[in-house]
């Protein structure tokens, strides 16, 4: 009897197992159908009803085939356009330029099964995301997953309470007092770059052709690594941790940059398993090395007074969660080791290339517009005469007004971050002057892609000289009269937290370069701005550098001292 009962229950278990399996498979299928097909189809219908038009998507790639085909039809990277070209938008975002022509400044397109509202109209942007409605938007999940190895849950990707807490701790670390203390390290790194350039010029008798972008990116990486966590690419600490972290951070950036992922397409990651796996593996190695640095710093901060005086961002974040006795206090400002790792990576990835591109594009613009180069050099010599020595002071750098105009103008024409993205956290209702309906609803989960390049070169906003380099347009307050029309650092509560650090680094590097060299565009330079995450020159920036007599004299003085 007992045996029969056991058999019966085993049979029952098998039967229910046999039932459970197809049930689980059906549920999984339903879930996938909902996620990949039903939910996007519903959003598409709602967006259409709301009056949004756009190119017809296919399933499951959305508009990716058209984007890929348009990019493939572009001229090769060796082709170039004139430096003052009006059509860089058609070169960097050819598909948006085409759709903008057909559907206007606001339309919907699809990356895989992810809908994106494309926006290049400041008035529309203000109505959906300016002021209070700004809180209804977060960062797109589709990019968060993609860029996890780079930023983790750092500030760029954080959301809700986590974001608010981190922003509250991080923003004060970028105060002008703290940044002033970083001028010395910026100067030290830049001096190394300039010495290399001087040596090149000496080897070529008088002037040298230098790819300034390459040097400036390396210099910015050195500065950000020192400013963020006090490590350097060259002078490694006893365990060589600094140099290894740096190497791996750069390797990861290259890997993520090269891997051609089908953003928004369900399961596309499976096609790039090896690259995804390698990026995650590198990410874990970087995390372990950074954790090591953080533990050591925590330890030394509680035992060593000299360490408390360190001014890098990591030390400032550790001090923010410190009760003054060197003991971490568990309050809102305390970050865990994991959180600190993610923030350090975020500063590295978010901070160095963007700043380097701002400097590089500026060097090109000054080489192409010698009167502006002269004007800046004169301004520098007026406020920071060379006979005061090479030491730069933050207060004097702050007086370089024309340099500020030039920075604004370069960020307008060549914004290193060519787009800003958001995702609707709720259904967003707005009144629409453009459609017959009284209100428009953007469904929760819809992404928004703000085309910064298009807005920054829009003649309706900036006038018919929109494509020209005219820093004087920033003289009297400047701008285009619409704050949402100029967004190099994003907008609202999520505006870039590192913009003052960029301003400081920009001034230090430019002041040093312009005091030392005269710049002109080298014949081999091919102007072709391209978007590869950032807006960058496809072929580097080759300039002819001629050492200035005053610099030569001060170098001679230094060498005879």
Binding interface with ligand HEM (CB under 6 A): 155-156, 167, 224, 346-347, 350-351, 354-355, 358, 416-417, 420, 488-491, 494-498, 501-502
Q: Which of residues 417 and 447 has its CB atom nearest to ligand HEM in the complex?
A: 417
- State in angstroms the smallest separation of the CB of 119 from ligand HEM: 13
**CB-based contacts of 476-479 (< 8 A; 24+ apart in sequence):** 478/405, 478/408
The vertex-375 CA angle with 370 and 376, nearest 5°, equals: 100
Q: DSSP label at 438?
A: S
Distance of CA 349 to the CA centre of its chain: 7
Other beta carbons less than 10 A from residue 43's beta carbon: 20
Was 496 annotated as part of a binding site? yes
Other beta carbons less than 10 A from residue 90's beta carbon: 17
- Distance from the first to the final alpha carbon of the chain: 105
* Whether 442 contacts 128, CB under 8 Å: yes
- State in angstroms the smallest separation of the CB of 509 from ligand HEM: 12
Q: Which of residues 469 and 491 has its CB atom nearest to ligand HEM in the complex?
A: 491
- State in angstroms the smallest separation of the CB of 232 from ligand HEM: 16
Per-residue tokens: 401? 């007004």
Alpha-carbon distance of 371 to 390, in angstroms, equals 24
Q: Return the closest-CA partner of residue 535 out of 414, 450, 449.
A: 414
Q: Which of residues 61 and 314 has its CB atom nearest to ligand HEM in the complex?
A: 314
- State in angstroms the smallest separation of the CB of 78 from ligand HEM: 27
- State in angstroms the smallest separation of the CB of 87 from ligand HEM: 22
Q: Which of residues 316 and 497 has its CB atom nearest to ligand HEM in the complex?
A: 497
Exposure class string for 222-255: b at 16+ Cβ within 10 A, else e:
bbbbbbbbbbbbeeeeeeebbbbbbebbbebbeb
Q: Which of residues 109 and 347 has its CB atom nearest to ligand HEM in the complex?
A: 347
- State in angstroms the smallest separation of the CB of 491 from ligand HEM: 5
Q: Which of residues 50 and 454 has its CB atom nearest to ligand HEM in the complex?
A: 454
- State in angstroms the smallest separation of the CB of 123 from ligand HEM: 18
Q: Return the closest-CA partner of residue 402 out of 354, 320, 351, 470.
A: 470
Q: Which of residues 501 and 551 has its CB atom nearest to ligand HEM in the complex?
A: 501
Other beta carbons less than 10 A from residue 116's beta carbon: 23
Which residue's structure tokens are 């969660």? 321
**Annotated binding-site ranges for heme:** 496
**Annotated binding-site ranges:** 496
């Amino acid at each position: 009897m007992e045996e029969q009962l056991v058999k019966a229950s085993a049979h029952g278990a098998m039967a229910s197992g046999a039932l459970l399996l197809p049930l689980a498979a059906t549920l999984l299928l339903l879930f996938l159908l909902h996620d990949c097909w039903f939910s996007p189809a519903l959003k598409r219908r709602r967006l259409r009803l709301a009056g949004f038009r756009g190119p017809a998507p296919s399933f499951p790639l959305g508009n990716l085939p058209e984007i890929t085909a348009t990019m493939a039809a572009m001229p090769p990277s060796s082709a170039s356009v004139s430096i003052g070209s009006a059509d860089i938008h058609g070169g960097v975002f050819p598909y948006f330029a085409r759709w903008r022509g057909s559907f206007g400044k606001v339309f919907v397109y699809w990356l895989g099964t992810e809908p994106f509202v494309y926006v290049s109209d400041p008035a529309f942007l203000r109505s959906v995301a300016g002021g209070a409605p700004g809180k209804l938007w977060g960062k797109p999940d589709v990019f968060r997953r993609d860029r996890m190895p780079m930023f983790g849950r750092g500030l760029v990707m954080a959301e809700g309470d986590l974001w608010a807490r981190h922003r509250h701790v991080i923003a004060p670390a970028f105060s002008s007092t703290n940044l002033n203390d970083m001028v010395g390290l910026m100067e030290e790194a830049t001096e190394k770059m300039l010495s290399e350039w001087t040596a090149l010029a000496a080897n070529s008798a008088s002037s040298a052709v230098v790819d300034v972008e390459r040097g400036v990116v390396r210099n910015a990486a050195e500065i950000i690594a020192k400013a963020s966590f006090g490590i350097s690419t060259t002078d490694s600490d006893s365990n060589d941790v600094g140099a290894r972290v740096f190497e791996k951070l750069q390797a990861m950036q290259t890997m993520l940059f090269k891997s051609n992922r089908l953003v928004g397409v369900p399961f596309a990651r499976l096609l790039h398993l090896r690259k995804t796996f390698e990026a995650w593996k590198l990410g874990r190695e970087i995390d372990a090395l950074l954790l090591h640095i953080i533990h050591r710093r925590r330890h030394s901060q509680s035992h060593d007074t000299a360490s408390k005086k360190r001014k890098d961002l990591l030390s400032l974040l550790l001090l923010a969660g410190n009760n003054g006795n060197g003991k971490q206090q568990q309050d809102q400002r305390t970050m865990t080791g994991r959180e600190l790792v993610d923030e350090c990576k975020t500063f590295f990835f978010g901070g160095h290339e963007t700043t380097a591109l701002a400097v590089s594009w500026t060097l090109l613009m000054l080489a192409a517009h010698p009167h502006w180069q002269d004007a800046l050099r004169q301004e520098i010599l007026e406020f920071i005469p060379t006979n005061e020595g090479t030491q730069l002071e933050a207060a004097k750098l702050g007086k370089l007004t024309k340099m500020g105009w030039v920075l604004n103008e370069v960020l307008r024409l060549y914004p290193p971050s060519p787009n800003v993205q958001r995702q609707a956290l709720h259904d967003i209702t707005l009144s629409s002057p453009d459609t017959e309906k009284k209100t428009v609803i953007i469904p929760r989960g819809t992404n928004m892609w703000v085309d910064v390049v298009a807005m920054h070169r829009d003649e309706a906003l900036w006038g018919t000289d929109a494509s020209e380099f005219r820093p004087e347009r920033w003289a009297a307050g400047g701008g285009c009269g619409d704050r949402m029309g100029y967004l190099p650092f994003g907008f609202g509560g999520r505006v870039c937290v590192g913009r003052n650090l960029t301003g400081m680094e920009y001034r230090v590097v430019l002041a040093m370069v312009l005091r030392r060299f005269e710049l002109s565009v080298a014949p081999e330079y091919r102007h072709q701005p391209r978007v590869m995450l950032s807006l960058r020159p496809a072929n580097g920036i080759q300039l002819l550098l001629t050492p200035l007599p005053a610099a030569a004299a001060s170098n001679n003085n230094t060498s005879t001292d």
